[in-house]
Amino acid sequence: MNYLDRTVPPVSQRIAQFPLIKPQKYHLSNQLPVYTIHAPEQEIIQISWVFDVGGYDSALPAQSLYATKMLAEGTTHKTAQEINEAIDEFGAFLDLQSDADQSIITLYTPARYAENTIPLIAEILFEPTFPEQEWHIFLLKQQKDLQINLQKTAFLAGRAFSKTLFENHPYGKILSEELLANYPKNEIVSFYQNLLLQNSFAVYLTGNFSENVLQNLENYFSKLPYSNKPSKTPQMLQPQSQKVFVEKSDSLQNSLRVGKLVIGRNHEDYMKLSVCSTILGGYFGSRLMQNIREEKGLTYGIYSVLKNMRWATHFVISTDVRTEAYQVALQEIYKEIQVLQQEKVSEVELEKVKNYMAGSVANELTNANAQMHLQSIIHLHQLPENYYESFLERLYSVNSEDVLAVAQKYLDCSEMIEVVAGRKPQ
């Protein structure tokens, strides 16, 4: 009997090309863009209304998120319970989200009931009432969630890192218990009226939809004047190197964040830096994982990542370690960065990482929803339309000299923001 030798990794090979599906683009009569991918095998269709406003545009922390969430808490014709019952009746699901740059309403609905569920979205978008009782219940839940999160060192570290990285910048707004205790509902209504409905948005549609679905979108959303305002001018960021310790005296572990602002997706060096970050801490076999988890046993996991927002991109290393081990962990983090700056990566390791990165993208392209997500990334970051078509070519062209150069240029340890949340050892 032949047994599989699990000490020998399987042979990897390059991916020749991604199975990309190019969305079709339509316009409603008001010029609102609708991007579609027809997938006959997908009976649950997904429709996303993506608005180009988010936390960056908000006057207060969480303002865009709360305004978006409250849309489904009552309309001129339905209570929150009636909205939920109507969604459930047709086997649909509604997701309301807002992040730093966008506010998104997503409807998952059986294709045969889309004509029933699309009007519900129009109702919550055009006729919300922001009822006082539901607002009070919503705020109580947010207060409880924040109280729970403030007991977690990972939350405290992430919060302090963002505040320090984006000090005096729209991305750096931090929600406090004091604000939540008296959060003004009029600011939520103001965001809805003056920003959400007044800025450009697009619709993304995937699944086994019929022409009737497109007609329903025309019937219910073409009456909204479409605003295609020019891109906002981003505030310039001035990164500052700082070390921050957030004390939590009863903690059994310390959470670490180390990072800085870097170049964005549109920069010619971005792919090289992405490869560099992946080598350092972007997958389970990374250098940080091998050193700090496997060899020294200081953590269950440690990762580095490039986080992209529309107007800023940052590099960050995240981990949780034993309180008495956090200083050793920080020393090893900086050591691994310096090794990348001083020694060329081997061709074997480089090829393994590039194949991993290619495979990760390929694994995300298993259905129409995932394919459409790539299109939304292109729109958000104003990337070339062939960005993912040329992804593999750009990835496989990265060499060891490139990795060395970007590590030296963009990962200067003296410019890092370092945040520790937890307990200082005695």
CB proximity list for 67: less than 8 A, separation 6 or greater = 98, 103, 188, 189, 191, 192, 196
- Give the residue among 68, 63, 59, 126 at the shortest CA–CA distance from 97: 68
Answer whether residue 276 is part of any domain: yes
Answer whether residue 48 is part of any domain: yes
38 and 173 in one domain? yes
Distance CA 78, CA 87 (A): 12
Answer whether residue 5 is part of any domain: no
Q: Tell me the per-residue pLDDT of 304-317, one tens digit each, with 9 for 90 and over.
A: 999 999 999 999 99
408 and 260 in one domain? yes
Distance CA 119, CA 389 (A): 36
Q: Beta partners for 259? A: 316, 417
295 and 149 in one domain? no
Answer whether residue 8 is part of any domain: no
Q: What is the 3-state secondary structure (H, E, C) of 111-125?
A: HHHHHHHHHHHHHHH
Q: What backbone phi and psi angles, to 5 degrees, belong to 163?
A: -65, -40
162 and 88 in one domain? yes
Q: Which of 157, 190, 221 is the last residue of a domain?
A: 221
115 and 29 in one domain? yes
Angle, helices 270-281 vs 400-410, to 10°: value is 90
* Residue 422 φ/ψ region, left for φ over 0, alpha for ψ in the -120 to 50 degree band, beta for the rest: left
The tokens 């989200």 sit on which residue? Answer: 97
Is 290:297 a contact under the CB 8 Å cutoff? no
Distance CA 114, CA 112 (A): 6
Answer whether residue 10 is part of any domain: no
Angle, helices 347-363 vs 400-410, to 10°: value is 80
CB proximity list for 59: less than 8 A, separation 6 or greater = 187, 190, 191
Answer whether residue 302 is part of any domain: yes
Q: How many residues does the chain have?
A: 426
Q: Tell me the per-residue pLDDT of 367-377, one tens digit each, with 9 for 90 and over.
A: 999 999 999 99
Distance CA 64, CA 101 (A): 9
Q: Which of 152, 187, 221 is the last residue of a domain?
A: 221
Tokens found for residue 231:
């891109």
Q: Return the pLDDT at 15.
A: 81
The CATH number for 50's domain is: 3.30.830.10
Answer whether residue 317 is part of any domain: yes
247 and 154 in one domain? no
Tokens found for residue 378:
């292109």
Distance CA 303, CA 319 (A): 7
* Residue 244 φ/ψ region, left for φ over 0, alpha for ψ in the -120 to 50 degree band, beta for the rest: beta
Is 253:323 a contact under the CB 8 Å cutoff? yes
305 and 216 in one domain? no
268 and 209 in one domain? no
Q: Return the pLDDT at 3.
A: 67
Domain total of the chain: 2
Query: What string of pLDDT tens digits covers the 426 residues of the chain?
Result: 566 677 776 777 788 788 899 999 999 999 999 999 999 999 999 999 999 999 999 999 999 999 999 999 999 999 999 999 999 999 999 999 999 999 999 999 999 999 999 999 999 999 999 999 999 999 999 999 999 999 999 999 999 999 999 988 899 999 999 999 999 999 999 999 999 988 888 999 999 999 999 999 999 998 877 666 555 666 667 667 899 999 999 999 999 999 999 999 999 999 999 999 999 999 999 999 999 999 999 999 999 999 999 999 999 999 999 999 999 999 999 999 999 999 999 999 999 999 999 999 998 888 999 999 999 999 999 999 999 999 999 999 999 999 999 999 999 999 999 999 999 887
248 and 216 in one domain? no
Element containing residue 270 per DSSP (H, E)? helix 270-281
172 and 39 in one domain? yes
Structural domain of 100: 24-221
208 and 247 in one domain? no
Tokens found for residue 375:
């299109």
356 and 261 in one domain? yes
Spell 244-259 as b/e; 16+ CB within 10 A means b. eebebeebebbbbbbb
- The pTM of this model reads 0.92
CB proximity list for 394: less than 8 A, separation 6 or greater = 271
Tokens found for residue 20:
């990309």
Sheet holding 33-38, edge to edge: 24-27, 33-38, 201-207, 44-51, 103-110, 93-98
Distance CA 365, CA 359 (A): 10
Answer whether residue 234 is part of any domain: no
Q: Return the pLDDT at 232.
A: 64
Tokens found for residue 226:
């479409």
- Give the residue among 316, 285, 320 at the shortest CA–CA distance from 302: 320
